[in-house]
């Protein structure tokens, strides 16, 4: 059995930090590649910084050093994943629209009109509509990603759609769908 490195790290031994990285780097790297593949290198660095800060909490009576390190790594990776899910990246609606040359002129005009209608929404309504329509998230997923209550997400979606429908001249959203001239 190898001698424990974490107590030495807790006492400020700089060579123990290098030895810890050499000994457990492969383990931490494999966990990061599996649980955080898009930013594994940053995750590994954060994990080792956290291990350096929390080395004094290691208790050899409670478990092995490898278990302690794997547990810290796994928890930090799960925290990173949750943070990414909480902070969805929103994109401008114009990023999802084809360029003028790729569609008939009347469709382009209608799309521009719709984009202007969406731009009139409150930021929360716009965020909910972009996440549901462009990214395909359910109301529950939007609530989890944004931290908004589910009822608030549903209200933003409904009210936002009502504003867009009114701006587009499509009438009462609770009424049965009607064909409007020029729209297919």
CATH number of the structural domain 93-168: 1.10.10.10
With CA atoms as reference, report the closest residue to 21 among 33, 5, 32.
5
Write down the pTM of the prediction.
0.47
Q: How does pLDDT run along the chain (184 residues), one tens digit per residue? A: 678 899 999 999 989 999 999 999 999 999 999 888 888 999 999 999 999 999 999 998 888 999 999 999 999 998 888 887 776 666 665 555 555 555 555 556 666 777 788 888 888 998 988 888 777 778 888 999 889 999 999 999 899 888 888 877 766 545 544 434 444 3
pLDDT for residue 9: 92
Residues recorded for the chain: 184
Q: How far apart are CA 33 and CA 24, in angstroms?
A: 14
**Domain 6-86: CATH architecture, name and number where available:** Orthogonal Bundle (1.10)
pLDDT for residue 182: 41
With CA atoms as reference, report the closest residue to 129 among 120, 115, 118.
118
pLDDT for residue 29: 93
Q: Do domains 6-86 and 93-168 have the same CATH topology?
A: no
Domain ranges of the chain: 6-86, 93-168
pLDDT for residue 120: 84
H or E stretch including 124? helix 123-129
pLDDT for residue 55: 92
pLDDT for residue 179: 39
Helices (H) and strands (E) in the chain, counts: 8, 0
pLDDT for residue 130: 84
Tokens at 124, concatenated: 């929360």
Residues 145 and 113: beta-carbon distance below 8 Å: no
**In a 10 Å sphere around its CB, with 0-12 CB exposed, 13-18 middle and 19+ buried, how is residue 174 labelled?**
exposed
Q: How far apart are CA 37 and CA 26, in angstroms?
A: 15
pLDDT for residue 69: 93
pLDDT for residue 174: 53
pLDDT for residue 90: 60
């Amino acid at each position: 059995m190898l001698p424990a490195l974490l107590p030495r790290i807790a006492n400020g031994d700089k060579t123990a930090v290098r030895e810890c990285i050499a000994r457990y780097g492969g383990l931490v790297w494999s966990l990061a590649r599996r649980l955080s593949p898009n930013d594994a290198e940053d995750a590994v660095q954060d994990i080792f910084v956290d291990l350096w800060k929390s080395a004094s909490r290691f208790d050899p009576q409670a478990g092995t050093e490898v278990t302690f390190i794997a547990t810290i790594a796994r928890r930090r990776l799960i925290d990173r994943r949750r943070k990414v899910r909480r902070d969805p990246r929103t994109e401008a609606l114009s990023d999802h629209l084809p360029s003028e040359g790729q569609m008939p002129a009347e469709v382009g005009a209608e799309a521009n009109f719709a984009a202007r209608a969406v731009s009139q929404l409150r930021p929360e309504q716009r965020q909910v509509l972009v996440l549901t329509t462009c990214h395909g998230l359910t109301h529950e997923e939007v609530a989890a990603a944004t931290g908004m209550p589910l009822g608030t997400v549903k209200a933003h979606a409904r009210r936002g759609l009502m504003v867009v429908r009114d701006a587009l001249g499509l009438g009462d959203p609770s009424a049965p769908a009607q064909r409007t001239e020029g729209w297919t």
